[in-house]
Amino acid sequence: METFITIIRESHSGVRWLVVLLGLIIIIKHSIGWAMKSEYSALDRRLVSIFSAVFGIQFLLGLLMTVLYLITGRFVMATSGAHLVIMLIAFFVAMRTSKWKNAEGVIPFRNNVIALVIAGLLIYVGVLGLPVGWSI
């Protein structure tokens, strides 16, 4: 059980950097597309799909962590609970990105940048509140 929890925790801890990296790439690329009023491309759609898939994996690992932490008495309401709630909101906000993929003009760029900046701030705060915080 201990080894399994360690594997899931390390995976959840590591996948965060993929979420952060992909989120930053999309924010930068979409901001440029928004400023230059570019055509929303297949690459933009692909990046958002990859980000959603990676965040989905992080979400499932997080839910598994929640169950494992609850059944082994590790779940601390003030820190684990706050992280859980903040991340569920961040996940909901980040998943809005699929809503506008077929919208006209700069709307997908603009809305995705806004959604991902809000989700990014929530993720920053949600990890900061954990005992381990942003340390590697």
- Contacts with ligand HEM, residue ranges (CB under 6 A): 9, 12-13, 16, 19-20, 58-59, 62-63, 65-66, 69, 76, 79-80, 83-84, 87-88, 90-91, 123, 127, 130, 132
Between CA 95 and CA 5 the distance in angstroms is: 27
State whether residue 38 is helix, strand or coil: coil
* 103 vs 132 by CB, closer to ligand HEM: 132
Helix residue spans in 1-136 (DSSP H): 2-35, 42-71, 82-94, 107-128
* 87 vs 113 by CB, closer to ligand HEM: 87
CB atoms within 10 A of CB 89: 13
Between CA 83 and CA 106 the distance in angstroms is: 33
Compute the least distance from the CB of residue 40 to ligand HEM, in Å. 25
Between CA 58 and CA 82 the distance in angstroms is: 17
Compute the least distance from the CB of residue 39 to ligand HEM, in Å. 30
* 107 vs 124 by CB, closer to ligand HEM: 124
Output the residue with the shortest Cβ distance to ligand HEM.
62
* 106 vs 123 by CB, closer to ligand HEM: 123
Compute the least distance from the CB of residue 116 to ligand HEM, in Å. 12
> Does residue 123 contact residue 19 with C-beta atoms inside 8 Å?
yes
Compute the least distance from the CB of residue 42 to ligand HEM, in Å. 26
